[in-house]
Amino acid sequence: MPREIDISNIERNFILEALQQGVRVDGRSLDQFRSLELEFGDEYGTVTTRLGKTRVHVQISAEVTKPLEDRQFDGIFTITTELSPIASAAYEVGRQTEQEVILSRTLEKAVRRSRAIDTESLCIISGAKCWSIRADVHVLDSDGGLIDCSCVAIVAALRHFRRPDVSVDGENVTIYTMAERVPVPLSIMHNPVCITFSFYHGGDTIVLDATRSEEQVRETSATFTVNDFELCQVSKMGGSPIDAVVLLKCINTALAKGKEINGIVAKKLAEDSTKRDVGGLIAELRAENER
């Protein structure tokens, strides 16, 4: 089966020695993220996120379906991730590797189980019709930081997405096209951001946003999901043991970095909104005006 290309002993020792001296191979400081870029597509809910050399594309789609039996007042929200050989030669089509399960589960816990979307607002007729939101995550390039990049991409895409407007008349549901009515944004409760820490030298060296080489060399990692004031999810799945006090410091660092990243996403969304507002005519079209 295909495997990740192993790192050589010389490169491994070089990276570890450099980290011991507080230096990273690509020149970043230990707590610095790679540059985060967001590109929104023409369609609503399409975003390509770039974190250094890691690239993730997310597409949000919506359709009307029947709600689950035990949750008749909730819509359905699913996240689909698939690692394909386009991202790295180590991935194989169809076969689910351990990394794919970890990526899928972490994103599920970070975004869906922490209720980033208000699924109750996706209900059209309870027990009969509801919206089913689907987030398809495509990893285009993999150079470490896959969980962080994917989570930012999903949240940005959800905030960018617009679903068609519906009206309900008794049991009849009318879905209007984009040309008939202005589409409706999703109800976002909070914006989770995944921050992954890598630990070296028994926890003495902590690195943020490791590249692929640094990921291969690390002893263990911990992923924290934060929004502006809450810790939503923690995943430290084994690996070398770390002091609890060190983990608490990581949580505080993750909180600060999460605010930074959410600021970047908000700025990019505002830019995209301005770009769609051709000629600035939305201000002229506003119906609610102050006296």
Partner 1 sequence: MPLDTLSTYSQTLLRQDGRRWNELRRITASISTQPASDGSSLLTLGNTMVLCTVTGPREGRGQRDNKNALVETDIHVASFATMDRRRRVRADKRIQELQSTISSAFQSHLFTHLYPRSTISISLHVLSLDGGLLVACLNATSLALVDAGVPMPSILSAVTCGVIVPTEDSKAKPEPLLDLNTAEEQELAYLSIATVSGGEGAEDKVSVLMMESRVEIATGSGKIEAMLATGVDGCREVRRKMEDVVRKHGAKVMMGLR
Q: Which residues bind to partner 1, rule: CB under 8 A?
A: 96, 98, 101-102, 104-105, 108-109, 113-115, 203, 219-220, 222, 226, 228-244, 247-248, 251-252, 255
In the beta sheet, which residues pair with residue 167? 174
- CA-nearest of 226, 224, 205 to 214 is 205
Report the 10 Å Cβ neighbour count for 248.
10
> What is the nearest approach in angstroms of partner 1 to the Cβ of residue 16?
17
Instruction: Output the CA–CA distances (angstroms, integers) from residue 38 to 53, 92, 154, in the order listed.
Output: 13, 27, 11
Neighbour-count burial of 142, counting CB atoms closer than 10 A to its CB (0-12 exposed, 13-18 middle, 19+ buried): buried
Q: How far apart are CA 83 and CA 94, in angstroms?
A: 9
Inter-residue contact 218 to 32 (CB < 8 Å)? no
Task: Provide the residue type at 249 as one letter.
Answer: K
Q: How far apart are CA 148 and CA 236, in angstroms?
A: 15
* C-beta of 48 vs 119, nearer to partner 1: 119
> What is the nearest approach in angstroms of partner 1 to the Cβ of residue 152?
19
* C-beta of 187 vs 252, nearer to partner 1: 252
Inter-residue contact 245 to 225 (CB < 8 Å)? no
> What is the nearest approach in angstroms of partner 1 to the Cβ of residue 246?
9
- CA-nearest of 159, 144, 136, 160 to 55 is 144
* C-beta of 47 vs 110, nearer to partner 1: 110
> What is the nearest approach in angstroms of partner 1 to the Cβ of residue 237?
4
- R_g of the chain, CA atoms, integer Å: 21
In the beta sheet, which residues pair with residue 133? 62, 77
